[in-house]
């Protein structure tokens, strides 16, 4: 039995509300980056953890704690989510640290099939910056410019 842990990107889940449906769906169906597991080998998803957010100057110094939390439950393989692999500027630092700290852990880069990288990055940039559709903020309420829905709007919806 493969005992799998997943290390994901904090930003895509917390800021962009990704529910990891692509990661789980591919694991369930043994597609994407789960395709190489032998058919007769049951896949046991032990747990999921996220990087903790863009670490800037401290780089990969805390990633070991995240992975340790999964290793404590006996994972033998760690998948980095495909979003982390494609957009994370700290990926190589993370990999170096994880390999040094956990030399016997098998690391797989990816979960679901990879996106077109340029389009994915452009989409993520928009989700983070919210320029095309600017969300309302507390200042809109404070400065009395907030747009509110009316019961009529709700009837139309
Ligand atoms: S971009 Fe990298 S460091 Fe930043 S939240 Fe995502 S995985 Fe974590």
Q: Give whole-number Cα distances, 71 to 5, 7, 27, 56, 127, in Å.
A: 8, 12, 19, 25, 32
Give all strands of the β-sheet with 43-50 in edge-to-edge order. Answer: 43-50, 2-8, 77-80, 106-109
Residue whose Cα lies nearest atom 7 of ligand 1: it is 9
pLDDT in tens, the chain (157 residues): 999 999 999 999 988 999 999 999 999 999 999 999 999 999 999 999 999 999 877 778 889 999 999 999 999 999 999 999 999 999 999 999 999 999 999 999 999 999 899 999 999 999 989 999 889 999 999 999 999 999 888 888 7
Buried b (16+ CB within 10 A) or exposed e, 124-133: beeeeeeeee
C-alpha of residue 70 to centroid of ligand 1, in Å: 18
Question: Distance from CA of residue 8 to its chain's centroid?
Answer: 3
Q: In the chain, what are the domains? A: 2-132 (3.40.50)
Does the predicted TM-score (pTM) go above 0.95?
A: no
- Pairing type for strands 77-80 and 43-50 reads unpaired
Pocket of ligand 1 (CB under 6 A): 9-11, 51, 53-55, 84, 87-88, 90
The pLDDT value recorded for residue 151 is 87
The pLDDT value recorded for residue 58 is 76
């Amino acid at each position: 039995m493969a005992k799998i842990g997943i290390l994901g990107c904090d930003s895509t889940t917390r800021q962009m509300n990704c529910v990891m449906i692509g990661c789980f769906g591919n694991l369930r169906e043994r597609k994407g980056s789960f395709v190489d597991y032998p058919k007769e080998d049951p896949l046991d998803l032990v747990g999921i953890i996220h990087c903790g957010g863009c670490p800037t100057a401290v780089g990969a110094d805390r990633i070991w704690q995240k992975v340790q939390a999964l290793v404590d439950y006996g994972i033998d393989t760690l998948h980095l989510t495909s979003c982390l692999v494609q957009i994370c500027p700290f990926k190589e630092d993370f990999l170096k640290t994880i390999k040094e700290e956990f030399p016997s852990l098998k690391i797989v880069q990816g979960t679901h099939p990879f996106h077109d990288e340029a389009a994915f990055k452009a989409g993520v940039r928009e989700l983070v910056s919210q320029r095309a559709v600017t969300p309302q903020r507390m200042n809109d309420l404070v400065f009395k410019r907030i747009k509110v829905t009316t019961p009529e709007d709700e009837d139309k919806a």
